[in-house]
Amino acid sequence: MFAERNLRIAAVLLAVAGLAVATYIAIAESGGGAPKCIAGGGGCETVANSKYSDLAGVNVAVLGILGYVLLLASAAIPGDYGRFGGFLTGLIGFGFSAYLTYLELFVIDAICQWCVASAILMALSLAVAATRALAYGGRELAPPQIQSSHGR
């Protein structure tokens, strides 16, 4: 069993890494640009310029930043608010990342390495958040144990 403290530290590290990736994508895409694919190939430009890079006018990388900030906050918050908040955020982030990866593979026909990196970080964040919620969730929701003072 992982100690909850270690799980929270892992969640913080993953969220910080994800935040860095999402921030880079958002900055690179601001003003009509695109992140630079390290391995070349133009996939990042194609993905950045596809119609799916925005969601109701908001760049999906900005949504990524929001997701990682929430994961960071949930890792910092002790107790069940942090545990289940992190789990919920991780689930949404992972589900949406999976959908975006599907779009890259089968609709846009281009892969952006930065988006893949973010999807992997989101999947790991979910794994950590789920472990924390499953192993430690619900504890302080139970009534406190009352030591009887009139035990006859």
Residues that bind other proteins (CB under 8 A): 32, 34, 42, 45-46, 48-57, 80, 84, 87-88, 91-92, 95-96, 99, 107-110, 133-134, 137-139, 141-143, 145-148, 151-152
Q: Residue 136 CB, nearest distance to other proteins (Å)?
A: 9
Please report how many Cα atoms fall inside a 13 Å half-sphere around the Cα of residue 27, on the Cβ side: 7
Phi-psi region of 35 (alpha: psi -120 to 50; beta: other; left: phi over 0): beta
The one-letter amino acid at 16: V
Which residue, 16 or 28, has its beta carbon nearer to other proteins?
28
Which CB atom, from 21 or from 110, has the smaller least distance to other proteins? 110
CB closer to other proteins, 9 vs 109: 109
Cα–Cα distance list, 5 to 17, 94, 100, 101, 122 (Å): 19, 23, 32, 31, 20
Q: How far is the CB of 151 from other proteins (least distance, A)?
A: 4
- State the minimum distance, in angstroms, from the CB of residue 90 to other proteins: 8
Among candidates 89, 17, 80, which has minimal Cα distance to 97?
A: 89
Nearer to other proteins, 4 or 80 (CB): 80
